[in-house]
Every structure is written in structure tokens, then in C-alpha cells.
Amino acid sequence: MGVFDVAFLVSVLTIAAPVLLAANGELLAQRAGVMNVGLEGVMLSGAFCGYAVMCQVDNQMLGFLGGIAGGVLGAALMGILAIEARVDQIVAGIAIGILGYGVTAFLNQHFIPEPRTFDPLPRLAIPGLSALPVIGDVLFRQDLFIYATAIVVVSTAYALHRTTWGINLVAVGETPMAADAAGVSVRGVRWATVLLAGVAAGAAGAYVSIGDVGVFRDDMVGGRGYLAIAAVLFGMWRLRGVLLAVAIFATTDAIQLRLQSLDVIPREVWAVAAILLVPIVLRLATRADGTRTATALLTPPRLLVVAGSTVLVWFAIRPPDVSLPASLWLAMPYVLALVALAAAKASRHQAPSALTIPYVRSEA
């Protein structure tokens, strides 16, 4: 399999899990109308609190609970600012981002003078399934956090699409007046989702510190919070889209890690890049009424994307003798997200209508 061996797939999952969990929580909050640009700070808070608890009790379960508490703390601040004080959510998010970094680094520098290292979460093999070839090693020999993330994502899908709560949540983010008129508490739903997003981001942060690496460093979340937000936007506020976005991000990141040891970009990488462009091409070819036509691709910017993917396919067949610096690979997910946003002009129509807009009753 060349570059893409089992270890590679495992690293994709490990990279994806915390981003996915945080994005999953943020998706709920954004669907209810609250955008927390400071998710990075919330994750840092979770990462630090988890680590701090670990330093005290050396128990991973309690450590994660501490991380969740840290996340909830950061999210609660967002709730107070966005839902109660009704301030500009973007600016509030920036503040939480700065605070998250400052407070955790401050506390870490002062209260934890001696850095400690813990064992990462143990990997649990699921009996039977783990014996399957490839899949068993990739999917069923993981740590508890990754299993938990999978469960959370599935229950989010269920909650959003199969419960009254999901309907209420969508209504609150779309037409809060309608939810209010139906007796659904806009404030209540928003608080619930913001705090849930805090729980998710806190746990994800704790995974970054004590679950995966076992240490805490300043600013160690390293942009995963921004990535999670980007995934929600890139995913057009749909769970499936978020999953796809996180998959793309994690894959590029894992490839980047792998490429650092290689001189030439192997053909598999080009093939994967070409495959990743397929959904974008398909989306471009989809007209507003849902039908697909090739003629929709005949506009200059769209042709560019089509041409790009053609080149990638060609490279997959005959790899060129070039290497791309690691950092440019790291930038790839964001560039892809930008291209996708620009290509799907209709994307903003899929954003919850009341996103970042505080709700004030009356004036019906």
C-alpha cells in the first residue's frame, strides 16, 4: 500500500477524533444560532484542566472529567456574553480565544512548575471485530476516546434528525421567533447547545493533552479549534459535511506528517487529492434545482477546478518529480475549504438564518 498503510489510517483517526468531537459540538451550537470563534480557547481550557486534574489525581477518567469541566467553563463565558449580554459573538469569541490561551498558559507557568508526562489512553481491542484484516486494526483497536467520539457523532445524528429536540434546535437557529411562539425557550436551547459544545471541546482538548500526548504545553491545541470551526462551515452546517471536512483535514495532515520523510510526492497522494476534488466537482455540476449537468461546469472559475482535478489525475498516473513543503500541505485543508466555499455560492443560504444574531422577543 505504499504510503497509505495501516499506521497511516490509524494516524488519520487519531488526528481526526478531537477535531471531529469539537466540530460536532460546535455544529450543534451553530445550528442553534451561536458561533463560538473562540473554540480554540475552550479546547485549551479543556486541555489544561484535564492535565491539571491528572497532575493531582493521576486518573484518566477524572482527568477527562476535569477537561470537560474546563470546556464548560469556557463555553459558559460564551453563553453569558452571547445569550445573556447579547454582545457581538465574533468579538466575544476572539476574547475567549485570547483568554483561553492566556489563562491556561498563566496557570501552567505558575501552578505547575514541574511538567509531568502521563501515559496516553490505552488502546482497547474489541474482541472479534479487531481480528478483521486492516479494518480491525484501524477501527477496532483504538482508544476509548475515539470510540466515544464515534458514539457521540452517531447520537448527534440521531438527536438532530430523529428527535423533537433536534427540531427545536433547528428552529431556534433558523427562526427563533417561531420557536418562541411554539413555547420553546430560545435561551434554554441555546444555552444547552453552547454548554454541550463546551463539553465536547473540553473533552477534545483533554484528549489533545492527556489522552494522546500525555503532556501540556502552551498553545498546544495548535489551531484544532479553528479547524473545527472551519469544518462546520466547510460542511455547510450538516453533520455529513462536517464528517467529510474533518476527514479531508485529517488526511491531508496525516499525509503531511508522512511526507516529511519522503523526497518526492508519491502517486497515491496525487490520487487521493484527485479523489478529494470529486465532491467539489460534483457540487459545481449540480444546479440549483438539484439536477446535474456538465454544462454547468462551463464557467471560468469552475473550469479551473475541473482542470485542476484533471491535472491531479494525470499526476496520479505519472507522478511528477516535485515535492511540496510540509507547511504548504498543512495549509491545503484551509485552501480546499476556501475553494469549496467560493465554488458553492449558495452556501450561505444553508447557514442557520439566525447564526450570530441575538434573540430579542416581541416586535412580532
Partner 1 sequence: MTSMPDPGAQTTRRSPSQSSTQPALRLSGVTKRFGGFIANDSVDLEVGWGEVHALLGENGAGKTTLMRIVTGLYQPDDGDVVVDGTPVDFRRPEQALRAGIGMVHQHFTLVPTLTELENLALAPAAFPVRDGRRAALERAEQVERESGLRITPDRRVADASISERQRLEIVKLLCRGARILIFDEPGAALTPEEWEELARLMRRLADDGHAVILISHKMSEVFAVADQWTVLRGGAVAGTGAIADTTRERLVELMVGASIETRRVLEPVSPGAPALVIRDLTVPRDPDQPRGPKALDGVSLQLRAGEILGVAGVAGSGQAELVDTLLGVRRSTAGRIELAGKPYDDRTPAAFYAAGGALIAEDRHHVGMVGAMRLWENINLRTLRQRPLARRGVLDPRAARSRARKLMADYEVRATSENQPMGRLSGGNQQKAVLARELATSPSLVVAVQPVRGLDVRATEFVYRRLLEHRAQGGAVLLISMDLDEVLSLSDRILVLAHGRAQGALTAAEATRARVGELMTTQEAS
Partner 2 sequence: MTLLSTATILGLAQRLLTQVAVAAVTLLIAALLLLTIGVSPLDAADAFWAGTFGSSTNAGTTLTQAVPLFLVALGWIVTEKAGRIQVGFPGQVVIGGCAAAAVGLHAESLPGPFAVLLCAVAGIAGGAMWAGIVAWLWASRGVLEIVSSLLLNLVAVQVLAWLVRGPLQGSLDKQPQSANFAPSTSWPAFPQIPGMTLSYDVLLAPVLAVGLVWVLSRTTFGFTVRASGGNVTAARWQGMDPVRAGASAIVASGAFAGLAGAALLFAGAAPWLSEGFEASVGFNGIAVALLARNSPIGAMVTAVVFSSLNVGSTSLQSLLDVPSTLTSVLQGAVIVLVLIAAAVAMRRRRTPPPVPEPSTLEASPRPATAGTGV
Contact residues for partner 2, defined by CB under 8 A: 37, 41, 77, 81, 85-88, 90-92, 94-103, 105-106, 109-110, 218, 223, 226-227, 229-230, 233, 325, 327-328, 330-331, 334-335, 337-338, 341-342, 345, 347-348, 351, 363
Are 15 and 254 contacting, i.e. CB atoms less than 8 angstroms apart? yes
Residue 66: CB minimum distance to partner 1, A: 27
The one of partner 1, partner 2, none whose footprint includes residue 188, by CB under 5 to 8 A per kind, is partner 1
CB of 112 to partner 2, least distance (A): 11
Q: Are 272 and 251 in contact (CB under 8 A)?
A: yes
DSSP one-letter string for 286-320 = B-TTS-B-SGGG-SHHHHHHHHHHHHHHHHHHS--
Contact by Cβ (8 Å): 66, 206: yes
Comparing CB distances to partner 2, the nearer of 78 and 139 is 78
Whether residue 28 contacts residue 157, with contact meaning beta carbons closer than 8 Å, is answered with: no
Nearer Cβ to partner 1, position 170 or 337?
170
Nearer to partner 1, 167 or 306 (CB): 167
CA distance 126 to 110: 41
- Which residues here bind partner 1, judged by CB under 8 A? 159, 162-165, 167-168, 170-171, 174-175, 177-185, 188, 288, 353, 361-362, 364
The listed partner (partner 1, partner 2, none) that binds 151, CB under 5 to 8 Å by sort, is none
143 makes contact, choosing from partner 2, partner 1, none, with CB < 5 to 8 Å by partner type, with none
Q: Whole-angstrom Cα distance, residue 232 to residue 240? A: 10
Give the nearest distance from C-beta 38 to partner 1 in angstroms: 27
Decide which of partner 2, partner 1, none touches 184; Cβ closer than 5 to 8 Å per partner kind.
Answer: partner 1
State which amino acid sits at residue 68: I
Measured distance between the N- and C-terminal CA atoms of the chain, rounded to whole angstroms: 61
Strand-pair partners of 292: 286
Query: In the complex with partner 2, which residue's Cβ is closer, 97 or 198?
Result: 97
Specify whether the CB–CB gap between 146 and 13 falls below 8 A.
yes
Task: Pick the closer one to partner 1 by CB: 168 or 209.
Answer: 168
- Residues whose CB is less than 8 angstroms from the CB of residue 279 and which lie 6 or more positions away in sequence, other chains included: 244
Q: Residue 229 CB, nearest distance to partner 2 (Å)?
A: 7
